[in-house]
Each structure stands twice: as structure tokens, then as C-alpha cells.
Structure 1
Amino acid sequence: MPLRPADQLIHKAAWLYYTHGLRQDEVAQRLNLSRASVATYLRKARETGIVTISTSSQLYTDEALARRLEDAIGLDAVWIVPEDREALDPSAEMPVVAATVFQELARSGDRIAIAWGRTVYHIADVMPYADRQNVTVVQLCGNLGAPYSYRPDQCTTEIARRLNAEGINFYAPLVLSSERLAEELRAEPVILEQLKSIATCQLALYSVGGIEADSHLVRCGALTAAEMADMGEAGAAGVIAGQLIDAEGQLVDCDYNRRCISADLDSIRAIPKRLMVVEEANKFEPLVAAIKGRLVSHLVVTTSMAQRLLSRWEGAPA
């Protein structure tokens, strides 16, 4: 089990101070803490053995990997779910860790943007109830007609319920039948205001989708398997909030994207805390694309995924 998000600050402070050689005031600035808090964390790091090499290598291997990945990619924070024999099943552990991380990142008064998918819904399903004050949870993209429990509106509503927050759903489909209709709908005052409000959010929670024949967009009927294959040939590498992105994390210029009702990528990038949760090994290339497109600031992944990412960014074969 990885360190709790609150305890992770101790490890991050020790990493910056002892490994990078930053002064305490520089650590405080990097982590948005007071210098007194940094001094306290460093003392706890010494007391618990985090800064002892033998102890750290035994107990904090994944945490050291998380810090290295943060440094290599430039992410604000990484949490790693272990996959060793003594750990719980990552598919069961991942939503629990992600829910804990999410609730520690959420603050009273925040606007929070939520996407969709099984990963997000599983996080909502295990999320404990918390009474956040004046929180608004908004939907990142339009709705799907498919009767899945992980539809965008279901994910938004359930997370709002867990936070005792106001939930705001999109009353529009994810994808329209024509570009003209989509353009006109995006211009409607209610939809226009909802789309503009995404950039004012403080936190986003989402995963990244793949472009396989059984991907969410295909299963919900937004694209056929043949159309998705064509999109892959045209450069699509993943899916963010229902939209196709290329290998650099940019929006694919295609008819499908122009027919989507979803937050534009620049609005998503404007959100300070962009928490992405990825478990499946086959999401590696889509995740790389999302990271390159600056669509991730905080990340929850398995040990093997973290190792693959570090290898990619350090130039070794993934």
C-alpha cells in the first residue's frame, strides 16, 4: 500500500531536501508549505527512517520511484499502487488509493470537473462520504445514450453525492449527428456557460481512453469499430473527455471531434490539479499522449506503469 497522500508530503520534502539539495525555504516554496512545516516533515522523515538508505530501500521503493517519475516528467505528484505478491489486487486497490488522493486534493469552495468511464465510476463507488463546503462538481463532456453506470452524468452525480456537493450535468449528448448541429448547440447560452466554466475549476478527475475496437467510444455507439480503426490510422492515440487526441496530446482534426460536446483541451489544461488515474497496461500509449499534451499534473498508476513511463522519459526502451 502506498503512503497516504497526507504522509506523502513527508517523503516529498525529504526527497527535495536530501536528494536535490534544496534549502528548507526552497522546499517550502515548491510544496506550497510554511518553512516550519517543512522542518517538521524533515524531522519526521529522520524519525521514521525515510532518510536512512537501508530503510528507504526496503519500505519506500515505490515512493522513490514516484519521486523519480515526478522529476523526469515534471508532474506535481505521483502515487503508485504496488503489484507485488503481498499487495492487494491492483484492480481493487487502485480505486481506493485514487479516491483517497482525490478527496485530499479537493478543497471546500472548489469547482471540480469530472469525466467518465469505468475507472472514474469505480473511484466514486468506493469513495467515502465527506462534507465539503460550497463545492460544485461539473461534467466535462456531454452524455451518452448507452445504459452504462459509468456514463458522464452518473459519474458526476455520484461524486457530488459523496462530497455533499452540488452536481451540474450537461444536458446535451456527447456527440451530435452533424458539425452544424454541434456548433449551434455549443452556442446555446446554457451549454456555452457550462463549457466556459471548465477553465475555472480547481481540480479534474479523469482517466484516458484507448482506441481499441472495444473502447468506451465504440461500446457506447459514438463510433463504430471500423471508424475507430480509421481514426487510429489518421493519428488518434487516445481519448480525453470523449475527444480523440493524437500522440502529442493535441486534439485530432476530424469530423468526430467537431461533432463532440466537450470541454476544449485548453480549458482542461487551465485546471491547476489534473488528476489522472490509469490502471490498464494497454493504456500506456494513450497516457504518454496525455502527459505530452499537459493534460496530467497528478497521477495514480501501478508500479509497472510507472516503470514504463520512467523508461520512456529517460530514453530507454519502454
Structure 2
Amino acid sequence: MAIRPAEQLIHKAAWLYYAHGLRQDQVASQLNISRASVAMYLRKARETGIVNISTSTQLFTDDVLARKLEDALSLDAVWIAPENDHIADPSTEIAVLAASVFLELVKKGDRIGVAWGRTVYMIADIMSYADLQDVTVVQLCGNLGAPYSYRPDQCTMEIARRLNAKGLNFYAPLVLSTEELARALRAEPVIREQLSGVGECDLALYSVGAVDADSHLVKCGALTSGEMAELRSRGAAGVIAGQIIDADGKVLDCSYNRRVISAELASLRAIARRLMVVQEDSKFEPLLAAIAGGLCTHLVVGARMAQRLLDHAGATTEKAS
């Protein structure tokens, strides 16, 4: 695609500054524009993806706490976002780190499974643009009718757009009105093929949902707060790709789960790299359930959550000994 004349100066400024290492005043002199214009063009180059600045996430995996947590929880890799008084919004820092980690994990030709939620959509929205070859992004569960930007189809297609990849949406509702209808829909060839292909993904990106009144399932109308409370009393501990899991990370035996159109947990576990990102400290119990169920191999969390996980693992080991 030809570069429009209006973009030529942006490209030239970015090339001189990033590729040739010229200072902003030198770029301004060479292009015969003001230094303020150079700064504006460089900002536009970053915002539109003309320039993709990536930083190594090694700093966040070299942390001693991250190493201890990997050993304690038997995870392949852990990245810990810093949390201190100088950071206005730690949850954003976690999403920024997760976006970088995700881009490092994606390989040429990968098939990527994506779930939904505010965390996943924030990662997609923050993620740098990349031009990856032969990458496919697939939706892991059915869709929602609620007008949220973090619907499953929105998360899937935004990540595909950022990666310049092929996006495959799941054209089925997340939850059906009856168990019989759900069984019939899962038996449809197109839906059956989509569900059976999830285990062939190379990488998964998701978070774990809460099982309280603030749950996405309650807010989108899939369950009432009363129904969620009842499921919690029966052992509900978290939500993965629209499915409710118990404290052991297993699918809770309930009518809701039997009405859900989503990849089976066994298919999710078959994905080699399962990147879980958790922003909220309130999701400690759901995260424990997801880890117990083998639904996470790679983890991005904040420092407070990391310490809680390590303390819990230590306490559990002491009880067992």
C-alpha cells in the first residue's frame, strides 16, 4: 500500500530518529520543520503503529519472587508487574506488561485461543501493532448479546487486528436457555469443528473471572446475582472462558455449565502455552482454582498477588509436611 503524502513526513521523521539515531533537533533541521513538529510526528508514529517499540520482559522474570513462584506453583514462567506509590494504576501496568509478554510468546504460524473480559480487552487495546505471518486468532467460547467492548468476539478480533492476523469468531451464544438446546448446538458440524480444534492452539490468552455480583456473567445477564450466590455455595470458585470451575479447577456440575457453549477444559489444558493475566487482587481464590486445574502455564500478576500466592503455597506445603 502506498504511503499517503500526509504520512510521508511521519515516516521520514521516525526513520531518521529511530533507525539512524538522530536527535530531534537534527531531524527537524534535515526535514526543515520545527522540533515541536518532530515530537508530534514521533508520537503519531508510535500511536498508529508505524513504529513499534518493544521492551524485553526479562527484567520482570529475573525477579527473585518470580523465580520462587515458578518453583512453588510449577509454572513455566511468571512475570510480576511492580506496584508502588509512584504507580497511579497498577492494573494498567499489569496489562502493559502482559501485552509485551503475549507478543514475545507469539510465534510465526501460531494458532491463538482468546477468551474474554475486561483484562483481555485492555491487553488488546494496549498491545502494539505487529505484522505476524500465518497467525490465526480463535475465539474460545460463545458470544454475548450484551453491548460490552470486552465481548468474546470483540476481544478476538481486536487482537487479530493488532497482529495483522486472521480472526475466527465463534458464531454461537455463550449460554443457551436449555440443556437440550445446548447439546443440539454443540452437535452442529460447524460448532463441533470449532470446539474440537481448540486443543490444536499453540497459545491461549485469558484471565479468570470472579463468582460474585461483580462477575461478567452477572453483569451480562447470563446469571442473576442470586443464581451466582447459589452456585458459590455449591463450590463455584472462578470462571474460565465462560465456564464455572470449582476450587480444584474442575467444571462445576450445574445446569449453567451444561448450557454453555465453550471449549472443554481438557482442550484448554492441551494448549502448550496458557497465558493467564490477573489484574485484581480480589481474584486470589479464582486464580488459585485456575492454577490447581492446570489452566495456567505462564502467569502475569502484580507484586501483591505474587506474594499472596507464594505465601499460600508455603502454608500449603507446611500443612502437608
Q: TM-score range by the shorter chain?
A: 0.7 to 0.9
Which runs of 4 or more aligned residues in structure 1 lie more than 3 Å from their structure 2 counterparts after TM superposition? 6-9
Q: Equivalent residue for 1:127?
A: 127
Distance 2:88 2:201 in 1: 33
With structure 1 as the length reference, what TM-score do the two structures score? 0.81
Distance 1:250 1:99 in 2: 28
Report the CA distance between 1:86 and its aligned residue. Answer: 3.2
Deviation string, structure 1 residues 74-116 (Cα, Å, up to 9, x no partner): 0000000111123452122111110000000001100000000
Counterpart check, 1:159 vs 2:159? yes
Task: Give the secondary-structure state (helix, strand or coil) at the position aligned to 1:66.
Answer: helix
Q: Equivalent residue for 2:198?
A: 198
Report the CA distance between 1:228 and its aligned residue. Answer: 0.3
Distance 1:142 1:122 in 2: 20
With structure 2 as the length reference, what TM-score do the two structures score? 0.80
Please tell me whether the aligned partners of residues 207 and 277 of structure 1 are also in contact (alpha carbons under 8 angstroms): yes
Please tell me whether the aligned partners of residues 210 and 283 of structure 1 are also in contact (alpha carbons under 8 angstroms): yes
Deviation string, structure 1 residues 124-173 (Cα, Å, up to 9, x no partner): 00101101100000000000010000000000000000001000001000
Among all aligned residue pairs of Structure 1 and Structure 2, give the percentage whose two residues are the same amino acid: 66
Paired residues, number: 263
Return the index of the structure with the highest Cα Rg: 2
Q: Equivalent residue for 1:102?
A: 102
Report the CA distance between 1:295 and its aligned residue. Answer: 0.3
Report the CA distance between 1:7 and its aligned residue. Answer: 5.7
Distance 2:59 2:164 in 1: 25
Q: Equivalent residue for 2:56?
A: 4
Report the CA distance between 1:6 and its aligned residue. Answer: 4.8
Q: Equivalent residue for 1:248?
A: 248
Please tell me whether the aligned partners of residues 130 and 162 of structure 1 are also in contact (alpha carbons under 8 angstroms): yes
Q: Equivalent residue for 1:176?
A: 176
Q: Equivalent residue for 2:68?
A: 68
Task: Give the secondary-structure state (helix, strand or coil) at the position aligned to 1:315.
Answer: helix
Distance 1:84 1:4 in 2: 21
Please tell me whether the aligned partners of residues 274 and 297 of structure 1 are also in contact (alpha carbons under 8 angstroms): yes
Distance 2:275 2:166 in 1: 20
Distance change (3 Å), C-alpha of 1:281 and 1:6: closer
Deviation string, structure 1 residues 161-219 (Cα, Å, up to 9, x no partner): 00010000010000000111100100111100100110000100000000111210000
Distance 2:110 2:59 in 1: 23
Q: Equivalent residue for 2:24?
A: none
Q: Equivalent residue for 2:303?
A: 303
Task: Give the secondary-structure state (helix, strand or coil) at the position aligned to 1:128.
Answer: coil
Please tell me whether the aligned partners of residues 209 and 239 of structure 1 are also in contact (alpha carbons under 8 angstroms): yes
Distance 1:149 1:207 in 2: 16
Deviation string, structure 1 residues 231-264 (Cα, Å, up to 9, x no partner): 0011100000000000000000110000000000
Matching residue's letter, 1:292? A
Matching residue's letter, 1:120? V
Distance 1:228 1:161 in 2: 34
Q: Equivalent residue for 1:118?
A: 118
Report the CA distance between 1:4 and its aligned residue. Answer: 2.9
Counterpart check, 1:232 vs 2:284? no
| Structure 1: segments with no counterpart, 5+ residues | 12-62
Distance 1:239 1:86 in 2: 32
Task: Give the secondary-structure state (helix, strand or coil) at the position aligned to 1:289.
Answer: helix
| Structure 2: segments with no counterpart, 5+ residues | 1-54
Distance 1:276 1:293 in 2: 13
Root-mean-square deviation (Å): 1.4
Distance 2:154 2:206 in 1: 14
Please tell me whether the aligned partners of residues 6 and 104 of structure 1 are also in contact (alpha carbons under 8 angstroms): no
Distance 2:59 2:95 in 1: 19
Q: Equivalent residue for 1:144?
A: 144
Matching residue's letter, 1:131? D
Distance 1:208 1:171 in 2: 22
Matching residue's letter, 2:218? V
